[in-house]
Amino acid sequence: MKIKNTKLGRIGLAAVLTAISIPVSAEEMGSFVCSIKGSPIAAITASTLYAPYRGARYYFSSNQNRKIFLENPAKYAADAAKSPGVKAAFLFDPVSTRRLPPEKAVAHSDYKRVRFFFSSTQDKEKFDNSPVTYAVPPNKESLLCPAQMLPVGSYGGASDYSDFDGIRYFFCCAGCKEKFDANPARHLIGYEDRLNHYHLSIRDYSAVPPKSNTAK
């Protein structure tokens, strides 16, 4: 497509570029603030302090603030949702449920001070039409992949997740989600035994809030 170097041509080119979804990094889409103090965090980098909680990373301006958060993540995440500024980044496209690094996202939405990234504008539209459907997780979660019966280790190490019978299950690698979704009950046979084998448990956030969370 050839566009003449005229005012009208430049307007047309701008319209074309606007219509194209271009991946942008988290910091380019707006600065985050500390989840405890609310102080600005200019850019999210590999050295930015964070704490994992329910599939998201909550960011901090100091290690002391991080320690405060980890004393009671449920309380401070709830408090963070009520004060100004984006505090956390969800690590997955909440519609496709697949792990999505921010730099590969084509769009984002902020809901209750958490930034959600999307791999397509269609996913963003679905989310925006009903954020509660996609942003509110079940009260329970497990980091033992039910397809391979292997520990996932961390949110950052998960490929995606599925919600079944009130529990969010994180998967260890691509393809596990499809296997599990095809027959969840079959894959959960012996699941509790494997949890015990790895000294893991299903986290229940409806019970007493955990004082620490090691998932990254």
Q: Write down which residue in 135, 164, 188 finishes a domain.
A: 135
* pLDDT at site 43: 87
Same domain as 157, residue 84: no
Q: Which domain holds residue 172?
A: 140-204
pLDDT of residue 9: 43
Task: Mark which of 112, 135, 158 sits at the end of a domain.
Answer: 135
Residue 48 inside a domain? The answer is yes
Looking at residue 30, its pLDDT comes to 54
Residue 214 lies in a domain: no
Within this chain, do residues 66 and 100 fall inside the same structural domain, yes or no? yes
Among candidate residues 77, 112, 135, the one where a domain is terminated: 135
What pLDDT is attached to residue 32? 94
What's the per-residue H, E or C state across the chain? CCCCCCHHHHHHHHHHHHHCCCCCCCHHHCCEECCCCCCEECCCCCCCEEEEECCEEEEECCHHHHHHHHHCHHHHHHHHCCCCCCCEEECECCCCCEECCHHHCCEEEEECCEEEEECCHHHHHHHHHCHHHHHCCCCEEECEECCCCEECCCCCCCCEEEEECCEEEECCCCCHHHHHHHCHHHHCCCHHHHHHHCCCCCEECCCCCCCCCCCC
Same domain flag for 29 and 124: yes
164 and 101 co-located in one domain: no
72 and 31 both lie in a single domain: yes
Q: What predicted TM-score, i.e. pTM, was given to this entire model?
A: 0.82
Are residues 153 and 129 both part of a single domain? no
Per-residue pLDDT of the chain in tens (216 residues, 90 and over written 9)? 443 444 434 334 333 333 333 344 444 445 799 999 999 998 899 999 999 999 999 999 999 999 999 999 999 999 999 999 999 999 999 999 999 999 999 999 999 999 999 999 999 999 999 999 999 999 999 999 999 999 999 999 999 999 999 999 999 999 999 999 999 999 999 999 999 999 999 999 987 554 544 566
Q: What is the pLDDT of residue 5?
A: 47
Query: Is the domain of 127 the same as that of 46?
Result: yes
Residue 66 lies in a domain: yes
Establish if 8 belongs to a structural domain: no
pLDDT score for 42:
84
Q: Are residues 63 and 127 in the same domain?
A: yes
Residue 10 lies in a domain: no
Asked if 124 and 85 sit in the same domain, the reply is yes
Same domain flag for 44 and 129: yes
pLDDT of residue 126: 98
Domain count, the chain: 2
Residues 125, 28 within the same domain: yes
